[in-house]
Amino acid sequence: QILKLLYHVNQPSTYPEHVEIGKSCMFCEKGPLYDKYEKREVVDNWVQFWRFGLLPRGEVFSVFYEEHLRQAIALFKLFYYAKTYDEFHRVATWARQNVNEGMFVYAFSVAIIHRPDCRRLMLPPIYEIKPHYFFNKEVINKAYYYKQVHNSRDVHQSPGSFPGYTIQTNYTHDHMNLGPEQSLSYFLEDIDMNSLYYYYNLYYPFWMSSEEFGWKDSNRGYLYYFAHQQLLARYYLERMANGAGDIHTLDVDSPIQTPYNPSMVYPCGAEFPSRPKFAKLHEYFFNYGK
């Protein structure tokens, strides 16, 4: 059931049971839903977002955009406070068809991790669900090419080996990033390292209330500090191994010398934001505030 909901998440599901539930007007009447939830205000809050307009499918979703985050939290609570697993799955199926795919994956993943009746369930790797967030556009375009030109029965490797196609990539030789710290890309762009940090933020979302979800005595602040201290220590080790020197102090009032161009694209085709050389962050903050 879980894998079906996350299969080809960037397009509407074609499973008959998903299509049927997705077409239903589940939130036209709130009364029948109240008995299926532990908190009635969760239903009221979600219905309010639904009536005033949600983030459309196909748009870029980010938890760091306040309006997106409010909608994602409302959707997560709709999943989390469902009294039974069957009701949770039914609502998740409706959301799979009608809610922005990025918001759905985020809220659904957090709910799977934190719902007591889902503790033994395992999510598929996020880089398989959302590969655009982990591989640059060169890799994505090659994957599209192989999918279109070759079918799954083609075997181009030696007999007995993996029958698929291996796409080679080298992030340290990206012509779009010519800064001296490009030699660290093997670490900074590492798939496992970035997915590890993603899952850490699913287990400990910055917006989740410790009192509401029973984390009052969980040493959450200590874990946050420890995780980032370990990441910073490993980053410093890689810098020393590559002769990059100490980690410079971040000053938002001074230009950032190192540029960064991720060379990645969202599923909708928009490019990931880049940072030019000697970027003045305080000007970006000022313009954003205006």
Same domain, residue pair 67 and 110: yes
pLDDT tens per residue across span 49-75: 998 999 999 999 999 999 999 999 999
Same domain, residue pair 110 and 172: no
pLDDT at 151: 65
Give me the mean pLDDT over the 270-282 stretch.
86
Same domain, residue pair 164 and 194: yes
Same domain, residue pair 89 and 196: no
Same domain, residue pair 278 and 202: yes
Domain boundary residue, one of 74, 99, 124: 124
CATH number of the domain that 31 lies in?
1.20.1370.10
Same domain, residue pair 145 and 247: yes
pLDDT tens per residue across span 192-211: 999 999 999 999 999 998 88
pLDDT-based confidence at residue 283 (cuts at 50, 70, 90):
confident
Q: Is the pTM of this model over 0.75?
A: yes
Instruction: Report residue 55 as tokens.
Output: 């983030």
Task: Find the domain containing 250 and state its range.
Answer: 133-289
Is residue 213 scored above 90 in pLDDT?
no
Same domain, residue pair 209 and 164: yes
Same domain, residue pair 203 and 222: yes
Longest dimension (CA), the chain: 64
Domain boundary residue, one of 83, 103, 124: 124
Is residue 153 scored above 60 in pLDDT?
no
Same domain, residue pair 76 and 165: no
The DSSP line for 199-210 is HHHHHS-TT--T
Backbone φ/ψ region at 52: left (φ over 0), alpha (ψ -120 to 50), beta: alpha
Domain boundary residue, one of 86, 106, 124: 124
Same domain, residue pair 142 and 254: yes
Cβ–Cβ under 8 Å, residues 68 and 103? yes
Three-state secondary structure call for residue 37: strand
pLDDT at 289: 45
Alpha helices in 150-211 (DSSP H): 185-188, 191-203
Give the count of domains, the chain: 2
Is residue 154 scored above 80 in pLDDT?
no
CATH number of the domain that 220 lies in?
1.10.1280.10
Using H for helix, E for strand and C for coil, what is the string for 84-149? CHHHHHHHHHHHHHHCCHHHHHHHHHHHHHHCHHHCCCCCCCHHHHCHHHCCCHHHHHHHHHHHHH
